[in-house]
Amino acid sequence: MRPIVLLVIDGLRRDSAQRFLTTPFRLVAEGRGGYLPMTSLMPTKSRPSYNTISTGVPSPQNGIAANDDVRMVTTPSIWTIARSHGLTTAASAYSWWSELYNGVPFRKEEDAFTVDGTGGIQHGFFSPRDSEPDAVVLAYALWLWQRHHPDLMLIHPCSVDYTGDCWGAETLAYDETIKVLNLLLESLFTALWRERPEAIILVTSDHGMAAAGGHGWDAPELRQVFFFALGSHPGQSPELRAPVEEATALDIAPTILHLLDLPIPPQMTGRQLV
């Protein structure tokens, strides 16, 4: 079984990724992985989308209807299924992921650094700020990787979403934030694979971003995201299968469970992309 890193870049729409997220596209061009266009589900909001990605079930059937629907999810997720089979999970992410899979309320002092917790995400750095610099989120991810050797790890930088919400997607600020993150990904991927060259890195986004900022409704620039599966060298690269209809966020959870050799529950109706 190969370890999986799930990188969810919050609020990065597809056309902007195609222009500025050159690191994963270069790896694909080098034969080190695959790329698929992906459609995010409604509502194009963060908390329901995190849970669609994790449970393979659409909102609100997955237990989360809106951003202010703050509760711990009981629908099985990649996190709880991995833990129930004895795998090690970790996350460097926004605190909403701790609320979803570890419990509510989020207690800043106790939960920001979670070590060997009993929830779905066993080890974590959970920032209560969506303005947390991406460099900090990535640095903690690398520390968790080296310290705990997770089988499944989430990395969730939020700066692209934060900048888009503040200034809009068709702005220099949004573009520059993606470019900065893209540079950070070069060194992050190298460091992750230096430790464990067999790891598979999956890259996606929870939703897009409107030209004038914001998301949540149904529009192409909010629904169109992307999915990468990457390996450290061509011999390690996962083959992506393009479904007949465009891949959706429902396909991520069954794909991850398949890669981890874990059972896929019947409520996950998405397709395995590898």
Q: Choose the stretch contacting Zn ion; rule: CB under 5 A; options: 21-29, 45-53, 103-111, 247-255.
A: 45-53
Q: Choose the stretch contacting Zn ion; rule: CB under 5 A; options: 1-9, 46-54, 55-63, 227-235.
A: 46-54
CB 29 within 8 A of CB 234: no
Task: Report how far Cα 64 is from the mean position of its chain's Cα atoms.
Answer: 17
β-sheet bridge partners, residue 198: none
Q: Choose the stretch contacting Zn ion; rule: CB under 5 A; options: 5-13, 104-112, 121-129, 246-254.
A: 5-13
44 forms part of the interface with Zn ion (CB under 5 A): no
Minimum Å gap between C-beta 31 and Zn ion is: 31
Q: 51 or 122: whose CB is closer to Zn ion?
A: 51
> Which residue of 44, 46, 77, 248 would you call a contact of Zn ion, by CB under 5 A?
46
52 forms part of the interface with Zn ion (CB under 5 A): no
Q: Choose the stretch contacting Zn ion; rule: CB under 5 A; options: 62-70, 204-212, 217-225, 239-247.
A: 204-212
Q: What is the side-by-side order of every strand in the sheet holding 113-114?
A: 113-114, 123-127, 89-94, 152-155, 4-8, 200-204, 224-230, 33-39, 247-248
Minimum Å gap between C-beta 185 and Zn ion is: 18
Q: 52 or 89: whose CB is closer to Zn ion?
A: 52
CB 203 within 8 A of CB 27: no
Chain positions 77 to 96 lying near Zn ion, rule: CB under 5 A, are none
Rg, Å, the chain Cα set: 17
Mask: binding to Zn ion, 143-172, rule CB under 5 A, as x and -?
A: ------------------x-----------
Parallel/antiparallel/unpaired status of strands 224-230 and 33-39: antiparallel
10 forms part of the interface with Zn ion (CB under 5 A): yes
Minimum Å gap between C-beta 165 and Zn ion is: 9
Task: State which residue has the least CB distance to Zn ion.
Answer: 46
Q: 81 or 93: whose CB is closer to Zn ion?
A: 93
Minimum Å gap between C-beta 52 and Zn ion is: 12
Q: 43 or 270: whose CB is closer to Zn ion?
A: 43
Q: Choose the stretch contacting Zn ion; rule: CB under 5 A; options: 41-49, 165-173, 242-250, 256-264.
A: 41-49
206 forms part of the interface with Zn ion (CB under 5 A): yes
Minimum Å gap between C-beta 238 and Zn ion is: 25
CB 23 within 8 A of CB 29: no
Give contact residues for Zn ion (rule: CB under 5 A).
10-11, 46, 161, 206
